[in-house]
Structure 1
Amino acid sequence: MMMYSVILVDDSMPVLHYLSRAVPWEQLGFQLAGSFSDPEEALTYGQQHAPDVLITDIGMPKIDGIQLIASLKQTQQSLMSVIISCHGEFAYAQQAVKLGVQDYLLKENLTADQLVPILEQIRQRLDQAQSHSSEHQRLQEDHLRHRLLIKRKFTSELLSGSIQDPEYGIQRLTHFGLDTRGKMILPVYYTVTANEERKQRFHDLDLLSFTVENIVEEIVEHSGTAVHLSKSPGEGFVWFALPVRSGAQQEMIVHEVMYQLIYSVQKFAKAEIVTVCGSKTLHWQEAMNDAIQLQAQADRYFYLPPSTLCDSTHRLDFQKESDLFANYGTAAESLALALLPDGEINLWINNWIERLKQERYHPETVKTFMLKLAIDWQLKQQQLHDRPFAFSVEELHREMGHIRHIHELTEWMNIRFGALAVLSRDWTLQANCRSEIIHARNYVEQHMNRLVKLEEVAEHLHLNASYFSRLFKKETGETFIEYATRVKMQRAKEWITAGNGTVDEVSQMLGYQYKSYFLKLYKLYTGHTPVKSKGDTI
């Protein structure tokens, strides 16, 4: 049940104490956010926190109840209010009712029971308003999704080269709000890149992509000089119609819109976007061909720096696929060594990322290469030691299919190869451990992005929670919570030391909502702060 906030205001302390204690606020669906004997303090609090309901006396020093209601309603029209009045102030109470006050009560013989039916009615009105607001928001989102689908259909036509009539293309852009006649046309391609923690925050990639598209749509629409055409979730174009002025003025218009877009995506979606400018032209056909070329070479932006406005000259050529796979045997051997208990998996990952950036192999070749390394290592462990796959082949293929940028690949390698390194250490150190403990540890490793409770793991293993708790302590010498926390802190130290995220990002990636709690645990388990870790060498 949703809880609504309410504040009490009365210069009589006995009345405040009585109503605060006697009214069953929570049972009625309300949270008593504050009680004030000073109306000026109540006004300041109300302007800062926007309560849903105000219950106030009329006759008070400095500010009377009617003035208090009027002042708060200036910034919160939906505020619902109840007046507490004395007999001599009845005329004021009538005036307040006309101004939209929900009800009034006489102070003489006032009881908490009198407030209950009034609060129940207010609760019903608030529920109805909330329902209407949710429905209105849903309709707005449906409208936006429909508009994006229409634009996406046109973009698909455009990129397929099936639009032969330039007038049709110009008319469609005009319909979407962009007048290109007599102006320079410029397509700018973009694609979203986000690390695993940001994807988890939005639950799935479609929601993240829709959020980014919504941000792009709003900024571009308000610019008055461009229109947003989505190609697919997380990928699309910003089309500019620039006045025929100096190149510097045109560049200023484009930069203002695109860098505002980049900043907003970073701030509100916690993601990055790679953007590439096409070429300016007065002719629709040339602009369309440029957009087709920009999209056709999208894989060539794999190594471009995100959150920077690049031009089409940044399209990169790739090395031959055979050049990378010629080193596969050596790479597999070095990975096996890096995954040993005394190995340096973070150094192995960093070395490979730097090599990929320098030699620039085709993204699909790189993804296939890393995918094969992860699968083959698990397959070897299964064949030699009868160990289960930590990550299914289908799961790894699905994750790799979503990767569009080298930063996302780096994140994937840190998470997946890092998890395999921890599993390898556990397997080596606990060869004689019971199967239930092994499965429990594997479960923790596979869900490092959130806090895993003992009861959840016990249910997963089909064990009683109390029995599992005693078993884990007996077999390992530490409690399950101690183990789960220790493993997370080990992973945190590895990531922070390797520079794979800020302290905020690492704490969120490991499922900690509050940074202060994460820092407390980190120091408890490592003996020092994350700043010290970052200076350590591995």
Structure 2
Amino acid sequence: MYNVMLVDDDYPVLEFLSEMIDWDGLGLTLQSTHVNGMSALKEAAENMPDILITDIGMPKLNGIELTKKLKEKNPALLVTILSCHSEFGFAQQALKLNVQEYILKDMLDVNEMIDLLRQFVDKLNNEKKNKINQLKMAQTIEQNKGLMLEKFINKTINHPIHNKKDWQDEAYLLGLQPNQRYMVILCLINQYQSVLHYFQSTDLLNFFVQNVIAEVIENEAVNAVHGQFEKEKSFLFVSLNMEEEVEILKIKGLIKKIQIIFQDTFGISFSFRKGNAAEKPIDIKLQMMKLIEFNVSKICSNIEIENACKYILDNLHRKITLDEVANYLHLNSSYFSRLFKKEIGENFVKYVVKLKMNRAKDLLDQTNYTILEISEMLGYENQSYFNKTFKSFEGLAPIEYRNGKIEWGNMNGVKR
């Protein structure tokens, strides 16, 4: 049942509408009648109606002012104005307040009023149904958000982003705002197999981690989204809105809080690897891939090689030499070369080329940069040498690789 409030200083009008309309039959309750706007306003403060039927000219508070004040508290309020005034000025004021109907009293017909009320009931029923559906959808999304985020993160990393708007729409449903800068952070559960053995289920472990981190994010009042990727790896996206120094302190505080809660309460150790700020979908994807590449390359416990791999990833945009990295680490070049191959399993040059070519493939897949621009973005001074290196690595020239991807996308109905 929806509540109706009648307001008119003309008592016969109140009596006529009260008695001539079958309120219950319409699914309505006549909650109150008032002879002035001030009385109606006080009643609405305790019990806001769904429908307001009001006169304009009344003592203490007129119908226009009453409607305005009630609309401020309940914008969805449905309003019919009854008036003796046919002047355009009054109707114009009513239109500005989004009043549903403006009826002249000398043309008032009870059957027309009943039809109007039926329309109001239908409108309120539809709005109620829509709200319930939206609530159910929000509940479903929340319940499945962890799984949806995991699928979204995996799809972002492992598949091309063919349509930026589609990616942003899906990201928005999962809590990532479009055109918002995010710090991308890789989260790692240390000694993963031991932790998994304790929980005995990947799903249970993922659910536990997701809920604990979500609770920390809420308690710390940080605008961030956390989602699972695979096994021990998950991602944290922290929105950036303030000055860089303030944001870095905020992120450090959040990470520290997560580490303390997991370690002190549950005996689980977490590590974090911070990427760079990113806003565009392709830049967010590249940051995620960069963090994963670094984590995959970190297959040894040697801190010097770990730092070398990080340095390489941070400088893929230019030419990198073995001597340069050795100097950065304050190591002898020959010693560094032997140590690198021992720990990584391939020599320095092959490792750098592999990372550059994988990055080139992403840029060919995901962007409209020309091949010359891509070669320059990866530190190649000569496009011909870049083409030769790419073909040696992939078995196709860059243009052939890109055209092949476009043709495959068109065959599958993908818009680039």
Task: Normalising by structure 1, report the TM-score.
Answer: 0.33
Structure scoring higher RCO (CA < 8 A, sep ≥ 6) equals 2
Task: Normalising by structure 2, report the TM-score.
Answer: 0.41
